[in-house]
C-alpha cells in the first residue's frame, strides 16, 4: 500500500510550494488506494508557532485535502527518538562528541583559511578517554567516510553523492538532548509506514543523511520523488509579489479551491494538452514519475483564467454560499439567478464578483466624467425622459426581455439607434459605460430603482 505524507514545519504560513507538494502526495496516495498522512514537524521549539499550525490545518480544511488518521506531532515523540539514540549508541553506530564551541570555531576557521570544506573532523569518533569537564556532549552518527550514496529518485533518476564530499559525522541529538531534523524524519517516516516521499528538491541534499540513518537503524528506504521548485517569470525564486504567500491569502483574494488545486497540479506535471482537471481526474491521471525535471513557472494569468472558468461553471446556489464569506448575502435575493448568471461570466475572482454585484445593486452617486461627456450629448436627456415615462406606465416588468421591449419601443418611436439610449441609460444606472447587459441590470434592480436612477442622473447631469 502506498503511504505518503506532508510534513510542514509550523514556523510560518503554508506557502504555495508546500501546498503543491501536499497535493502531489495526496493524489498519489489516493490513486493507489493508500494513505496520505499529516505530520507537524515542530521540534524547533524556539521557532514553532501554534498559530502557524492552525493556519496549516485551516488551509487543508478549505481545500478539502483530507489526511488519513490522526495528525502526528514530532514534539510529542521525544521518548521515541531517545530510544533510537540509545540504540545507536549501544550498537556503536553513534557516539558522544565533546567538542566545545570554541574548538569547533577554531576548526572551521582553520579549514576556511586553508580553503577546505568546513566539516567536523571526527576527533571524538573513536574516543575512549575521560570526557572533558564542563562540556555537554552532542550525539553524532558514524557516517560512511568513503564510497557513494545513491538516491534513487523517481523524478531525477539516480543521483550519486560521494560520501567524503557531503558527509561528516553529523549531529543527531543536540547537547540538550533535542534530536535533529534528518534523524527524526527518517524515524518518523519508518514508524508511520511512509514508503513514498514526494517533496521539494531543496530537500535533496538532506536525503543522503537520512539514508545513513535508515541504514544504521535497519529501516527500509522509501521511494523518493524530489520535485523542482516553482519560479517566477524571470526564472528566479518566488517572492511574495509573485505568489509565494500564505495559501489562505488566495481565499481572501477570491480564488476557489478547485481552481487553485487545478493550477498547482499543472505546475510541473501535465497530461497532454489538458488544462482543466477535476479532482477525480487528477487522482486517476497523476503519476509522480511524470513530473517535469525542470522548474515550473508561476503564471498569475493562468490562475485567473482557471478561476474564471470555475466561477462560471459553479452553480448559483454554491456561488451564493461562497459569496457570504466575502460579506455579500444573496441567498434570498429574488433576482439572484439573473444577477449571478450575468455577472459570473465577467469575474476572475470571487472578490471581483462581489464588486460587480455591488456595482449593480448600489445606486450611483457619482458619474464617470469621460462616460458622461461621451453619452450625454444631443438629445440624451430627451431619450431618457421618454424611456422613464414608458417605464412608469408599463406593467409586468420582471424579466430582462420585458425591459428590452420598452427600450425597443423608444428606439422605434424616436427613430434612433440603440446606442443613443444605451449609453446614457448605462451611465444613469451604473455611473459608467462598462458593465453587464442593461436588460439584466434593470430586471435585477426593478422598475422603481431604475426610474430613480434615471431621475437622479438627469438631475445631476442636465
Helices (H) and strands (E) in the chain, counts: 19, 12
Q: Tell me: do 301 and 402 sit in the same domain.
A: no
In angstroms, the Cα distances linking 424 to 356, 376, 394, 410 are 19, 6, 20, 13
In angstroms, the Cα distances linking 415 to 174, 340, 370, 419 are 89, 33, 26, 12
Q: Which one from 145, 240, 293, 377 is the annotated catalytic residue?
A: 240
- Residue 24 grid coordinates: 502531489
CATH code (residue 391)? 1.10.10.350
The answer to the question of residue 221 being in a domain is: no
pLDDT, tens only, 355-410: 999 999 999 999 999 999 999 998 999 999 999 999 999 988 999 999 999 999 99
The answer to the question of residue 122 being in a domain is: yes
Distance, CA of 399 to chain centre: 41
Q: What percentage of the chain reaches a pLDDT higher than 70?
A: 99
Taking alpha carbons only, the member of 216, 220, 217 closest to residue 152 is 220
Given a contact cutoff of 8 angstroms between Cβ atoms, the answer to whether 231 and 295 are in contact is yes
Q: Tell me how many domains the chain contains.
A: 3
pLDDT, tens only, 320-349: 999 999 999 998 889 999 999 999 999 999
The answer to the question of residue 290 being in a domain is: yes
Query: What DSSP letter does each residue of 284-309 carry, written as one string?
Result: HH--GGGS-SSPEE--HHHHHHHHHH
First to last CA, the chain: 76
Domain of residue 336: give its range: 316-461
Neighbour-count burial for 33-69, b at 16+ CB within 10 Å, e otherwise: ebbbbbbbbbbeeeebeeebbebbbebbeebebebee
Q: Tell me: do 112 and 160 sit in the same domain.
A: yes
Given a contact cutoff of 8 angstroms between Cβ atoms, the answer to whether 32 and 280 are in contact is no
The answer to the question of residue 232 being in a domain is: yes
The answer to the question of residue 217 being in a domain is: no
Position 27 scores a pLDDT of: 98
Q: Tell me: do 373 and 434 sit in the same domain.
A: yes
Mean pLDDT for 245-261 is: 94
381 φ/ψ angles, rounded to the nearest 5 degrees: -65, -40
Query: What pTM did the predictor assign?
Result: 0.91
Helix (H, G, I), strand (E, B) or coil at 196: strand
Q: Tell me: do 94 and 156 sit in the same domain.
A: yes
Q: Where are the alpha helices (DSSP H) in 91-154?
A: 101-113
Cell match 514508503: residue? 195
Given a contact cutoff of 8 angstroms between Cβ atoms, the answer to whether 429 and 450 are in contact is yes
Strand partners, 151: 159
- Residue 236 grid coordinates: 528566479
Beta strands 171-173 and 138-141, pairing class:
antiparallel
Cell match 422605434: residue? 412
d(CA 340, CA 345): 8
Position 128 scores a pLDDT of: 87
Residue 268 has pLDDT above 90, yes or no: yes
User: Which of 132, 156, 173 is the last residue in one of the domains?
Assistant: 173
Q: Tell me: do 344 and 386 sit in the same domain.
A: yes
Q: Tell me: do 304 and 343 sit in the same domain.
A: no
The answer to the question of residue 435 being in a domain is: yes
pLDDT, tens only, 277-300: 999 999 999 999 999 999 999 999
Per this entry, what is the length of the chain? 462
The answer to the question of residue 214 being in a domain is: no
CATH code (residue 32)? 3.40.50.620
Position 395 scores a pLDDT of: 87
Kind and range of the H or E run holding 4: strand 3-6
Q: Tell me: do 377 and 268 sit in the same domain.
A: no
Residue 104: which region, alpha, beta or left (left: phi > 0; alpha: psi -120 to 50)? Answer: alpha
pLDDT classification of 170: cutoffs 50, 70, 90: very high
**Burial class, 237, CB count within 10 angstroms (exposed 0-12 / middle 13-18 / buried 19+):** middle
Q: Tell me: do 396 and 297 sit in the same domain.
A: no
User: Which of 278, 297, 313 is the last residue in one of the domains?
Assistant: 313
Position 150 scores a pLDDT of: 95
Q: Tell me: do 342 and 381 sit in the same domain.
A: yes
Mean pLDDT for 52-77 is: 93
Q: Tell me: do 341 and 442 sit in the same domain.
A: yes
pLDDT, tens only, 106-124: 888 887 888 878 888 888 8
User: Which of 279, 313, 347 is the last residue in one of the domains?
Assistant: 313
In eight-state DSSP terms, residue 236 is: S
Q: Where are the alpha helices (DSSP H) in 344-379?
A: 350-361, 369-375
Position 409 scores a pLDDT of: 94
Q: Tell me: do 415 and 376 sit in the same domain.
A: yes
CATH code (residue 119)? 3.90.800.10
- Residue 279 grid coordinates: 479532482
Given a contact cutoff of 8 angstroms between Cβ atoms, the answer to whether 15 and 244 are in contact is yes
Taking alpha carbons only, the member of 61, 133, 56 closest to residue 100 is 133
Helix (H, G, I), strand (E, B) or coil at 198: strand
Given a contact cutoff of 8 angstroms between Cβ atoms, the answer to whether 376 and 367 are in contact is no
Mean pLDDT for 167-183 is: 93
Mean pLDDT for 149-158 is: 96
Position 244 scores a pLDDT of: 67
Q: Tell me: do 38 and 166 sit in the same domain.
A: no
pLDDT classification of 51: cutoffs 50, 70, 90: confident
The answer to the question of residue 260 being in a domain is: yes
Position 94 scores a pLDDT of: 97
Given a contact cutoff of 8 angstroms between Cβ atoms, the answer to whether 351 and 460 are in contact is no
d(CA 346, CA 349): 9
35 is in an annotated binding site: no
* 240 part of the active site: yes
In eight-state DSSP terms, residue 147 is: S
Amino acid at each position: 500500500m502506498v503511504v505518503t505524507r506532508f510534513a510542514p514545519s509550523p514556523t510560518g504560513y503554508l506557502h504555495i510550494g508546500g501546498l503543491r507538494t501536499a497535493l502531489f502526495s495526496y493524489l498519489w496516495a489516493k490513486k493507489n488506494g493508500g494513505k496520505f498522512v499529516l505530520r507537524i514537524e515542530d521540534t524547533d521549539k524556539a521557532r514553532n508557532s501554534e498559530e502557524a499550525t492552525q493556519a496549516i490545518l485551516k488551509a487543508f480544511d478549505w481545500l478539502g485535502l483530507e489526511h488519513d488518521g490522526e495528525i502526528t506531532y514530532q514534539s510529542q515523540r521525544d521518548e521515541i527518538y531517545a530510544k533510537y539514540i540509545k540504540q545507536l549508541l549501544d550498537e556503536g553506530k553513534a557516539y558522544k562528541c565533546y567538542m566545545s564551541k570554541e574548538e569547533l570555531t577554531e576548526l572551521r576557521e582553520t579549514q576556511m583559511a586553508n580553503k577546505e570544506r568546513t566539516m567536523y573532523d571526527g576527533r571524538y569518533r573513536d574516543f575512549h578517554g575521560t570526557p572533558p569537564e564542563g562540556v555537554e556532549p552532542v550525539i553524532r552518527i558514524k557516517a560512511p567516510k568513503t564510497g557513494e550514496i545513491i538516491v534513487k529518485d523517481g523524478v531525477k533518476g539516480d543521483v550519486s553523492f560521494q560520501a567524503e564530499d557531503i558527509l561528516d559525522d553529523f549531529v543527531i541529538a543536540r547537547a540538550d538532548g533535542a534530536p535533529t531534523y534528518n534523524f527524526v524524519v527518517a524515524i518518523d517516516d519508518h514508524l508511520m509506514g511512509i514508503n513514498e516521499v514526494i517533496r521539494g528538491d531543496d530537500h535533496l541534499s538532506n536525503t543522503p543523511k537520512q539514508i545513513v540513518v535508515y541504514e544504521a537503524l535497519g529501516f527500509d528506504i522509501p521511494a523518493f520523488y524530489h520535485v523542482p521548485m516553482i519560479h517566477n517569470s524571470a526564472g528566479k525564486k518566488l517572492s511574495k509579489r509573485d505568489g509565494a504567500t500564505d495559501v489562505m491569502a488566495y481565499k481572501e483574494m477570491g480564488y476557489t479551491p478547485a481552481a487553485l488545486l487545478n493550477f498547482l497540479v499543472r505546475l510541473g506535471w501535465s497530461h497532454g494538452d489538458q488544462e482543466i482537471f477535476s479532482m477525480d481526474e487528477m487522482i486517476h491521471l497523476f503519476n509522480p514519475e511524470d513530473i517535469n525535471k525542470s522548474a515550473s513557472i508561476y503564471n498569475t494569468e493562468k490562475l485567473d483564467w482557471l478561476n474564471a472558468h470555475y466561477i462560471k461553471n459553479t452553480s448559483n446556489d454554491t456561488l451564493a454560499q461562497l459569496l457570504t464569506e466575502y460579506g455579500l448575502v444573496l441567498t434570498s435575493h429574488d433576482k439572484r439567478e439573473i444577477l449571478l448568471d450575468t455577472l459570473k461570466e465577467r469575474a476572475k475572482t470571487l472578490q471581483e464578483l462581489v464588486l460587480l454585484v455591488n456595482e449593480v445593486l448600489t445606486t450611483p452617486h457619482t458619474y464617470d466624467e469621460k462616460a458622461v461627456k461621451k453619452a450625454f450629448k444631443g438629445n440624451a436627456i430627451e431619450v431618457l425622459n421618454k424611456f422613464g415615462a414608458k417605464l412608469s406606465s408599463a406593467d409586468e416588468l420582471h424579466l430582462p426581455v420585458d425591459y428590452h421591449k420598452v427600450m425597443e419601443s423608444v428606439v422605434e418611436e424616436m427613430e434612433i439607434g440603440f446606442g443613443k439610449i444605451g449609453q446614457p441609460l448605462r451611465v444613469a444606472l451604473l455611473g459608467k459605460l462598462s458593465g453587464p447587459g442593461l436588460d439584466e441590470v434593470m430586471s435585477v434592480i426593478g422598475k422603481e430603482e431604475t426610474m430613480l436612477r434615471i431621475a437622479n442622473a438627469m438631475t445631476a447631469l442636465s
